Structures are given as structure tokens and as C-alpha cells.
């Protein structure tokens, strides 16, 4: 550069510019040609002192440490870490660790190891519930880490919540849940209450009392009251996840039920759980209140003809309450004797009916065979005794002109062992020649005898009551 020549510098960075440049090649700043060129002396930086350099190094180190610490604290307090700790506590069945986790995100209920053990047992008995909880927690953790919004309505039994700050800056997370309370009443004064097998004191009649908080898992509540015959109990299994409210109202019905009684012996004495009531079935009529859990047993006893008759013991359940109890006493010996007599009578009647049919048939068949000319078959209807008295040849000659022998009716009048008597009416038609017929009506009786399995005609007492030639 020649002496006296004007030197131009960039107003932005101080770089020397050549004449005619429209922008700075060092920083890109536009050079305005309308502005007067000024002589700018080069910028001279003062050297940095050693002490200042030390402070700068310390500041940089603090920044690095702070950022590293933040990252470490952030990784240590990620929502997913809470999920993994939960899963580990379940896998190890660690009630102590589970209690710590359950207390990490809520302060409404102080969860002890006993309550935590209940939760672990619940998950052991219901793997599907555990799988659902794990899935929900992992979903929540992912949404939190991705700054996604999610509704608490989406949460299951447990959920992840922010639980303070680490170092006052990094969010910490814990498990949260909605504890449940039971508002319990009973219709019996002084009813005893148990929750999960633990005595919770007495209930006043129709006065509600609140118990809790409890974990939102299934709980067993049982109320009991001593009745006249037995203790009445009402047991409920409550799953809070199926309820619409975390404050669950329950009313126990301890009035029990009554059972109607009946028996085949109204004067039988009723026994309850082996002890006599000194009352008959008729006098007692019903018993109650009674439990329906099988703890009450009823039977009846009576002395009949010098023998003690006893019914079967009936266990009271819902069916007995609904249908009543018929205390049937075992009088089988008496009934068997009656049944044998009835069977004998029935057999006798059946045999009589059978014999009556056979007697009627032998008379009908005898005259039907005569009508069709089958005289040998008609002769076979006679008993051995009659055959010995009446020969076939002589007997059959009397039917040479017979056209028809029709029986109008047969009535069995008597059966006595192997003998019987039957009355009948018969109309015969005989050919008289020249187109004439002799029509005769016969009334009478046949004495019959049973030979082997068959009834036979033995001796007749027959009278002709009418005769007409046509």
C-alpha cells in the first residue's frame, strides 16, 4: 500500500478491505459504498492473564460437571426405572421393596409390608392382572419420557407420578394408586366385622362405619351375628377395580332366612345340629334365622310301633331355604310290608284280569269254532273231565245243521283258585230246509277249571229262552 492511500476496514469484524469490495470476505458483512470510508486502526487484543485463564477453566469444568451430573441424575430418575424396580420386587416377592415403591408416589396410605405382601399375593394368583399393570406402567413411562399427555383414566391399578426433584431440578418418579375405603353397615346390632381375616370390631344396627384405606385389590369382608340356632354370616369378595367409586358402601344382611318344615310324621321331634328342640314338626313349622353356608343341620325323630324312626340329616343351603325341608322318617320296614301286601293284591288283581280275559276268550272261541265248522277245536275247549263224559262223535252230531252260534256277551262271575263261573248269552241259527232257519236264544253259565295254564269248559248250565223259525 502506497503512502497516503486511504485504508478501509470492515465495520463488523475489522478486516482490511480492498478498494471496490462490496462485502467483507471474512465475515460477509455488506460494505455500503455511500458511507464515507474511514481510516480504522486494526484492533489489538490484550493478552489474557494466567489468572483469568484459570477462572475460565474452572467455569468450563463446572459447566461440564453440572451437565454430566444432570444427565446422571436424569438417567437415575427416569420413569422406566420405577417400572423396573416394580417388576424386580414382584419377581423377588420382596414385600419390603414393594412397600417402599407404593409409598414413593402417594401419601394418603402408609403401606406396610403386610399390605405389600397382599399385593404380591394378588399378582401371583392373577398373572393377567400383573401383565396388565406392567403394560400400563411401561406405557405411562414411555409417554412421560416423550412428553406425551395421558389421562389418569387410562391408568390401571398402579400409575407413575412425579414425586419431587433430585438436586432440586431433576424430576423424580414414584408409584401412585387410589386407596379404597369401605363404608359398612349391617341390619343386626353388634355384628362382628372382619376384613381380610382381621377383626375390625362391632357394627351398630343400620349405622354405617368407614374402614380404610386399603390397596385397590380384592378384599374379603365378612360380618357375623349370633342367632337363636346358629351364627349368621355374610361374606363378600369385593374387587375395587369393578367399582365406580373408591369409597365403597356395603350393607350386610344378617337377618338370615327361614326354612319351612314338613314331614311324613307330623308328630316327629325336630333336632338342630343334633340337639332336640322339643318341638314337633307341626308345632315348629319353620326355623330361622338360619345360615345357608352348610353349618346348620336338621333331622327329625319319632317312636312308631316301638321303633325309633329317624330322618336323614339335611344340611341347610339356599335350596332348602327356597324349597323347604321334607323330613322323611325312615319307616322302610313298615312301607316294605305295605308294599308287599299291595304288590300281592296288585298281582292278584292282575292275575284275575288275565284269568277273566282267558275265561271270556275260551267261551267266545268255543262257539266261534262251532260256527266255522271247526268242531275238533271247539271240542278241545272242554276239560278232561267233560271229555270223559261227552264223546266227540256224539257231541259233534248235534251241530250238523248249525249255521251260526254267536255269543252276545260273557260275564265272569267268580274265580276261586283253579275254578271259575261265567254267565253268557248265545244265539244259534240252524238250517230247517225249504229256506227256513231255526233261531234260538240260550242263556246260562259255564263252570270252568284251570288245567295247567289254560281255562277249560267243564260243566254247563244252559237254558233255551227263545226259539223262532224264520
- CATH code assigned at 224: 2.60.40
Lowest mean pLDDT among 122-136, 213-227, 330-344: 330-344
410, pLDDT greater than 50:
yes
The region of weakest confidence among 26-40, 102-116, 334-348, 363-377 is: 26-40
The predicted-structure confidence for 257-291, as pLDDT tens digits, reads as follows: 789 999 999 999 999 999 999 999 999 999 888 88
More confident site: 51 or 446: 446
Instruction: Round to whole Å and give the CA distance between 160 and 345.
Output: 86
Q: Is residue 70 pLDDT above 60, yes or no? A: no
Least confident of 226-235, 348-357, 390-399, 400-409: 226-235
Task: Tell me: do 349 and 451 sit in the same domain.
Answer: yes
Residue 63 placed within a domain: no
**More confident position, 61 or 407:** 407
Q: How far apart are CA 161 and CA 107, in angstroms?
A: 12
- Start-to-end C-alpha separation, the chain: 182
- Pick the most confident of 72-76, 86-90, 250-254: 86-90
Q: Given this model, what pLDDT does residue 54 score? A: 67
pLDDT at position 35, please? 43
C-alpha 221: how far from chain center = 20
Of 109, 107, 82, 108, the residue nearest 97 (C-alpha): 82
Over 160-210, what HEC string results?
A: EEEEEEECCCEEEEEEECCCEEEEEEECCCCEEEEECCEEEEEECECCCEE
Nearest CA among 140, 121, 123 for reference residue 131:
123
Long-range CB contact pairs, 461-465, < 8 A, 24+:
464/440, 465/441
| Nearest in space to 376 (alpha carbons), one of 364, 363, 366 | 366
Helix runs in 234-331, H state only: 281-284, 318-323
Domain boundary residue, one of 296, 311, 330: 330
Examine the pLDDT at 16 and tell me if it is beyond 90: no
Q: Over 70: is that where the pLDDT of 233 sits? A: yes
pLDDT of residue 275: 92
Do residues 152 and 222 share a domain? Answer: no
342 three-state secondary structure? helix
pLDDT band for position 247 (cuts 50, 70, 90): very high
Residue 167 has pLDDT above 80, yes or no: no
pLDDT of the residue at 305: 82
Q: Which of 176, 205, 225 is the last residue of a domain?
A: 176
Q: Let me know if residue 56 belongs to a domain.
A: no
Residues paired with 17 in a beta bridge = 8
Mean pLDDT of 351-366: 95
- Domain boundary among the residues 307, 330, 353 is at 330
Query: What is the reported pLDDT for 153?
Result: 56
Query: Is residue 293 domain-shared with residue 323, that is, in the same domain?
Result: yes
Q: Look at residues 447, 445, 412 and name the one whose alpha carbon lies nearest to residue 426.
A: 445
Q: Which residues contact 162 (CB under 8 A, 6 or more apart)?
A: 171, 172, 173
Q: Give the pLDDT score at 41.
A: 47
Q: Is 434 left (phi over 0), alpha (psi -120 to 50) or beta?
A: left
Q: Are residues 360 and 281 in the same domain?
A: no
CB burial of 345-365 (b: ≥16 within 10 Å; e: otherwise) equals eeeeeeeeeebbebbbebbbb
Q: Are residues 420 and 325 in the same domain?
A: no
| Contacts for 114 with CB less than 8 Å, ≥ 6 apart | 95
233: helix, strand or coil: strand
Cα–Cα distance, 181 to 246 (Å, whole number): 6
Q: What proportion of the chain, given as a percentage, has pLDDT over 90? A: 60
The owner of cell 263261573 is: 421
Please check whether residue 125 lies inside any domain of the structure: yes
pLDDT digits 0-9 by tens, 284-307: 999 888 888 888 899 999 998 888
How many domains are contained in the chain? 5
Whether residues 279 and 316 share a domain: the answer is yes
Work out the average pLDDT over 129-151: 87
Q: pLDDT-derived band of residue 76, with 50, 70 and 90 as boundaries?
A: low
With respect to residue 295, please indicate whether it lies within any of the assigned structural domains.
yes
Residues 171 and 112 occupy one common structural domain = yes
Judgement on whether residues 247 and 262 belong to the same structural domain of the protein: no
d(CA 414, CA 422): 7
Domain that holds residue 360: 340-469
**Torsion sign over Cα 300, 302, 308, 311:** negative
Instruction: Provide the 3-class DSSP secondary structure of residue 350.
Output: helix
Q: Are 443 and 369 in contact (CB under 8 A)?
A: no
pLDDT band at 26 (very low <50, low <70, confident <90, very high): low
Residues 388, 448 within the same domain: yes
| Integer Cα distance of 155 and 137 in angstroms | 8
Q: What is the pLDDT of residue 270?
A: 95
Q: Cβ(225)–Cβ(190) under 8 Å? A: yes
Q: Give me the pLDDT at residue 58, please.
A: 63
DSSP letter, residue 152? G
From CA 49, how far away is CA 363, in angstroms rounded?
155
Indicate whether 152 pLDDT > 90: no
More confident residue, 470 or 448: 448
Question: What's the mean per-residue pLDDT of the chain?
Answer: 86
**CATH code of the domain covering residue 390:** 3.10.450.100
- 444 and 356, same domain (yes or no): yes
Tell me how far the alpha carbon of residue 241 is from its chain's centroid: 21
C-alpha cell at 234: 355374610
**Within-domain flag for 277:** yes
All cell numbers assigned to 146: 416423550
The better pLDDT of the pair 19, 386 is held by 386
pLDDT at site 1: 47
Same domain, 369 and 434: yes
**30 and 133 fall within a common domain:** no
Query: CA angle at residue 255 from 262 to 288, to 5 degrees?
Result: 20
Helix, strand, coil abundance in the chain, percent, nearest 5: 35, 35, 30
* For residues 397-423, average pLDDT: 95
51 in any annotated domain? no
Distance CA 368, CA 328 (A): 57
The answer as to whether 48 is a domain residue is no
Lowest mean pLDDT among 101-110, 161-170, 246-255, 380-389: 161-170
CA atoms of 177 and 133, how far apart (whole Å): 12
Average pLDDT over residues 451-470: 95
Q: Is residue 98, in this structure, part of any structural domain at all?
A: yes
Q: How far apart are CA 152 and CA 338, in angstroms?
A: 77
Flag the least confident range among 156-160, 227-231, 277-281, 455-459.
227-231
Mean pLDDT over residues 179-199, rounded? Answer: 93
| Per-residue confidence (pLDDT) for residue 123, from 0 to 100 | 95
Structure pTM?
A: 0.48
pLDDT at 63 over 70: no
Amino acid at each position: 500500500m502506497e503512502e497516503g492511500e486511504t485504508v478501509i476496514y470492515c465495520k463488523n469484524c475489522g478486516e482490511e478491505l480492498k478498494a471496490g469490495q462490496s462485502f467483507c470476505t471474512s465475515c460477509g458483512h455488506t460494505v455500503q459504498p455511500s458511507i464515507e470510508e474511514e481510516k480504522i486502526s486494526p484492533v489489538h487484543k490484550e493478552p489474557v492473564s494466567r489468572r483469568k485463564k484459570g477462572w475460565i477453566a474452572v467455569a468450563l469444568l463446572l459447566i461440564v460437571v453440572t451437565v454430566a451430573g444432570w444427565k446422571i441424575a436424569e438417567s437415575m430418575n427416569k420413569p422406566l426405572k420405577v417400572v423396573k424396580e416394580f417388576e424386580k420386587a414382584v419377581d423377588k416377592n420382596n414385600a419390603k421393596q414393594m412397600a417402599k415403591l407404593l409409598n414413593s408416589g402417594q401419601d394418603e396410605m402408609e403401606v406396610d409390608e403386610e399390605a405389600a405382601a397382599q399385593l404380591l399375593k394378588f399378582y401371583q394368583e392373577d398373572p393377567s392382572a400383573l401383565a396388565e399393570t406392567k403394560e400400563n406402567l411401561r406405557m405411562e413411562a414411555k409417554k412421560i419420557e416423550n412428553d406425551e399427555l395421558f389421562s389418569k383414566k387410562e391408568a390401571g391399578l398402579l400409575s407413575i407420578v412425579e414425586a419431587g426433584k433430585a438436586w432440586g431440578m431433576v424430576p423424580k418418579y414414584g408409584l401412585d394408586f387410589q386407596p379404597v375405603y369401605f363404608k359398612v353397615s349391617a341390619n343386626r346390632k353388634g355384628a362382628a366385622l372382619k376384613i381380610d381375616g382381621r377383626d375390625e370390631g362391632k357394627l351398630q344396627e343400620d349405622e354405617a362405619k368407614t374402614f380404610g384405606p386399603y390397596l385397590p385389590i380384592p378384599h374379603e369382608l365378612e360380618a357375623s351375628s349370633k342367632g337363636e340356632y346358629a351364627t349368621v354370616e355374610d361374606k363378600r369378595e369385593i374387587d375395587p377395580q369393578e367399582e365406580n367409586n373408591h369409597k365403597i358402601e356395603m350393607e350386610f344382611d344378617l337377618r338370615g332366612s327361614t326354612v319351612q318344615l314338613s314331614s311324613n310324621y307330623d308328630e316327629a321331634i325336630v333336632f338342630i345340629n343334633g340337639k332336640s328342640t322339643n318341638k314337633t314338626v307341626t308345632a315348629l313349622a319353620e326355623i330361622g334365622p338360619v345360615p345357608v353356608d352348610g353349618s346348620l343341620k336338621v333331622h327329625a325323630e319319632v317312636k312308631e310301633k316301638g321303633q325309633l324312626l329317624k330322618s336323614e340329616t339335611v344340611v341347610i343351603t339356599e335350596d332348602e331355604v327356597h324349597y323347604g325341608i321334607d323330613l322323611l322318617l325312615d319307616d322302610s320296614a313298615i312301607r316294605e310290608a305295605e308294599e308287599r301286601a299291595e304288590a300281592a293284591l296288585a298281582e292278584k288283581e292282575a292275575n284275575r284280569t288275565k284269568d277273566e280275559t282267558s275265561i271270556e276268550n275260551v267261551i267266545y272261541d268255543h262257539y266261534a269254532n262251532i260256527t266255522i265248522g271247526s268242531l275238533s277245536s271247539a271240542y278241545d275247549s272242554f276239560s278232561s273231565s267233560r271229555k270223559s263224559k261227552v264223546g266227540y262223535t256224539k257231541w259233534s252230531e248235534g251241530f250238523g245243521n248249525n249255521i251260526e252260534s254267536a255269543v252276545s256277551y260273557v260275564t265272569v262271575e267268580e274265580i276261586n283258585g283253579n275254578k271259575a263261573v261265567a254267565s253268557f248269552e248265545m244265539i244259534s241259527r240252524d238250517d230247517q230246509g225249504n229256506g227256513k232257519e231255526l233261531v234260538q236264544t240260550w242263556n246260562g253259565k259255564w263252570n270252568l277249571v284251570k288245567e295247567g295254564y289254560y281255562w277249560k269248559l267243564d260243566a254247563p248250565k244252559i237254558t233255551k229262552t227263545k226259539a223262532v223259525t224264520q
